[in-house]
Amino acid sequence: MSEDLKRHAAAKAVEDVRPGMRLGLGTGSTARHFVDLLGAKVAAGFEVICVPTSEVTARQALGLNIPLSDLETLGQLDLTVDGADEIDHDFNLIKGGGGALLREKIVAAASASMIVIADSTKLVETLGRFPLPIEVNRFGLAATRHAVEAVMAAHGAEDGLKLRGADAGEPFVTDGGHLILDAFFGRISQPEALSRDLLDIPGVVQHGLFLNMCSKAYVAAPDGVKTLI
Ligand code: 5RP
């Protein structure tokens, strides 16, 4: 059921793709449906050129013969389509559940517009129930962790901080070779201030708050796909 909903949202976004567009391809299980459906259009002769936001998405797109390029070659993109872990009513997002937040943010920022595709479980009143992924440099991890904890305390975080993968005995490593700290806020009441405070920490490479980046969302529920603009 959930996969059906994700696919329905992805199908709506495919309708927005125009021939010749320079497209950013997101990462995650919902974005995977979009790439899949786009691949079917490309196989039927539709022309686009795409920049993937992760090695996983690049492999999927290559397998579907979707033409790929990079931001060095294309510069600005027309549109990025990606999933999200949380979406609030101002279209602010938490992303990075799949660990691709850095490339996702670079690609979205280089795009004229960003469409988010999701099922309705991703809609929230206030961001923060989903742990905020924070991509950090390996160097000085303990110091960075300490600084992130101080920011969390200042922002009233309800719970702690986890190094992704540590429970499984092997830290998760991003495509950029960095680590991810998952920060359990419970509720993020001042996302802009939190964003600035996290980026002020030298060891923080990027975080999963995507603020004012998304212009439209297709949100699928059992009674249909809603367009949020
Ligand atoms: C990956 C992401 C994903 O878009 C986000 O985690 C949503 O994934 P899914 O569609 O599998 O729920 O940000 O870094």
Query: How many angstroms is it from 85 CA to the middle of ligand 1?
Result: 6
Cβ of 96 closer than 6 Å to ligand 1, yes or no, is yes
The number of beta carbons lying within 10 Å of the beta carbon of residue 150 is 12
ipTM for the predicted complex comes to 0.98
Q: Hey, where are the domains in the chain?
A: 3-124+211-223, 132-207
Instruction: Check if the beta carbon of residue 43 is closer than 8 Å to that of residue 65.
Output: yes
Cβ of 104 closer than 6 Å to ligand 1, yes or no, is yes
Mean pLDDT to the nearest integer, 178-183 = 98
- pLDDT one-digit tens code per residue, 100-122: 999 999 999 999 999 999 999 99
Residue with CA nearest ligand 1 atom 5: 84
Evaluate if residue 9 carries a pLDDT over 80: yes
- At residue 195, the 3 state secondary structure works out as helix
pTM: 0.95
Query: How many angstroms is it from 104 CA to the middle of ligand 1?
Result: 10
> Which segments within the chain are labelled E, that is strand?
22-25, 49-52, 77-82, 86-87, 93-94, 111-119, 132-136, 161-163, 179-183, 204-207, 209-210, 216-221, 224-228
pLDDT-based confidence at 1, cuts 50/70/90? low
Query: How many angstroms is it from 30 CA to the middle of ligand 1?
Result: 7
Residue with CA nearest ligand 1 atom 1: 98
Does the domain at 132-207 match CATH 3.30.70.260? Answer given as: yes
Instruction: Check if the beta carbon of residue 63 is closer than 8 Å to that of residue 92.
Output: no
Give the right CATH number for 3-124+211-223 from 3.40.50.1360, 3.90.1150.10, 3.30.465.10, 3.20.20.210: 3.40.50.1360
Catalytic residues: 104
Nearest atom in ligand 1 to 6's CA? 10
